[in-house]
Amino acid sequence: MPFYERGPIRIYYEEVGSGFPLLIIRGGGLNSALSSLQTPFNPMERYKDDFRCICADLRNANPGQSRGPRTHPGGRHAGGGHVPD
């Protein structure tokens, strides 16, 4: 299994195809397991013949295979501190 590692951070990613890189980003704190959800299509399968497709766990992905420190004091709900009343 491929991982990007730097210091205490370890991020799992998947890669298929070749050519110009296409970074596929899952929204909502999802991990790199694109095939685990019902979606209109699997972008890794759809574009692998034309691009080098890369999909990684987001750092807040659960239950992703990545690990590393989270340094923001507000965690997942930190955005509320930036929104005016």
Q: Which residues pair with 67 in a beta bridge?
A: 10
Separation CA 46–CA 58 (nearest Å)? 21
pLDDT at 11: 84
The residue whose two tokens read 């980003």 is 25
pLDDT at 20: 97
Length of the chain: 85
From residue 23, alpha-carbon distances to 8, 13, 35, 53, 79 in Å are 23, 11, 16, 6, 25
The string of pLDDT tens digits covering residues 21-77 is: 999 887 655 555 555 556 677 888 999 999 999 988 776 665 556 666 656 555 555
